[in-house]
Amino acid sequence: MKNIYEATSETIEKAASVIKTGGLVAMPTETVYGLGANAFDNKAVAKIFEAKGRPSFNPLISHILDIEQAKEFAILDERAIRLASKFWPGALTLVLNRKENSSNMDMVCAGLNTVTVRIPDNKIALDLIEKSGVAIAAPSANVSGTISPTSAIDVYDSLGEKVDMILDGGKCKIGLESTIIDLTTKNIVMLRPGGIAVEEIEKFMGEPILFSKGNHKLPTSPGQLLSHYAPEKKLRINVISPEKDEIFIGFGKMKCDYNLSEKRDFLEAASNLFSMLRLADGDKSQPKIAVAPIPNENLGLAINNRLDRASYPR
């Protein structure tokens, strides 16, 4: 594991140099670990797709330092400024129209006229962005379609030394990807539920948020592919009585092998989801996995979104 580094000022400086010279750095965020490259370097971004085995038509999120940096390549209307001022830094990603001068972002935007952008709520990630001097494209740091990483060792187990540097910042605080909303249409549309509940956004904006699963054949944002976040084992969801050959992941007070949250706390369940899927996948006691029902409210909407895609037949 020669490419895992404790995140210090010195190693972040070194990682910034890797970003500047077209390399790949895995960085912690409050959501999951991201596989980062210079968002303005099409060749560097291509390395992300290659390392992950990710379809090149699937756009990436660009991580930035502040709202002013977003204005360099994206068009922010009054709604975008309002949402960014409230929820950034944080687990909210905005889909915005690109400026005409942003052709150097064709790869990160998958050729679309839109760009997805957010400010992460993680000091290590922000320090890396600042020292690199560029927006950092960073999807989850794992092989495409598999369980997202919430620790440095998860990154290494999935990608090994395909990554030049892995900055170890401990376990991710939220453990679930960001919420993605589209601001390029008249109505605000959620493309992916995530670390910020839709109810919170609706309350702040004073209007209902529409929901779209998007087009899995031509996604406009990350997280729209039908099969995603998947363990190796077959996964069943909304299970009340597991079969004998299934490892059971519970929610609430119940008999199970792993429990997302005995207290039925959505934030705790979200932070445990990927790590427990990974534990169950590596547990050799049974060949399959079953997950108890999760209420489809608050962060439960995001949890169920991940489980739906993780259980999609392959």
CATH code for the domain in which residue 124 is found: 3.90.870.10
Both 284 and 165 in one domain: the answer is no
Single-letter residue type at 236: R
For residue 258, the SS3 value is: strand
pLDDT digits (tens, 9 = 90+) for 243-292: 999 999 999 999 999 999 999 999 899 999 999 999 999 999 999 999 99
CA distance readout (Å), 127 to 81, 99, 134, 167? 23, 26, 11, 12
Residue 221 within any structural domain of the chain? no
pLDDT surpasses 70 at 56: no
Cα 158 off chain centre by: 15
Clarify whether residues 261 and 200 are in a common domain: no
Domain boundaries, position 297: 234-310
Domain count, the chain: 2
Are residues 257 and 156 part of one domain? no
pLDDT confidence of residue 1: 67
- In 3-state terms, what secondary structure has residue 126? helix
- For the chain, percent helix, then strand, then coil, each to nearest 5? 30, 20, 50
Q: Is residue 220 part of a domain?
A: no
Q: Is residue 281 part of a domain?
A: yes
What's the pLDDT at 98?
94
Residue 287 lies in a domain: yes
- Let me know whether 242 and 281 are in one domain: yes
Whole-number average pLDDT of the chain: 92
DSSP β-ladder status, 189-192 and 179-182: antiparallel
Do residues 162 and 243 share a domain?
Answer: no
Is 227 inside any structural domain? no
- Whether residue 217 is contained in a domain is answered as no
Residue 39 included in any domain:
yes
Residues 81 and 184 in one domain: yes
CB-facing half-sphere around the CA of 284: CA atoms within 13 A? 0
Residue 135: the pLDDT is 97
User: At which residue do the structure tokens 């209420």 appear?
Assistant: 295
Residues 6+ apart with CB under 8 A from 314: 227, 230
Does residue 22 contact residue 43 with C-beta atoms inside 8 Å? yes
Beta bridge partners, 248, equal: 290
Does the residue 202 lie in any domain?
Answer: yes
238 and 189 assigned to the same domain: no
Q: Tell me the per-residue pLDDT of 63-115, one tens digit each, with 9 for 90 and over.
A: 999 999 999 999 999 999 999 999 999 999 999 999 987 778 988 998 888 99
Going by DSSP bridges, is the β-strand pair 25-27/165-168 parallel, antiparallel, or unpaired?
parallel
Residues 269 and 305 in one domain: yes
Cα Rg, the chain, nearest whole Å: 19
Q: Domain check: are 202 and 279 in the same one? A: no
- pLDDT grade for 212, boundaries at 50, 70 and 90: confident
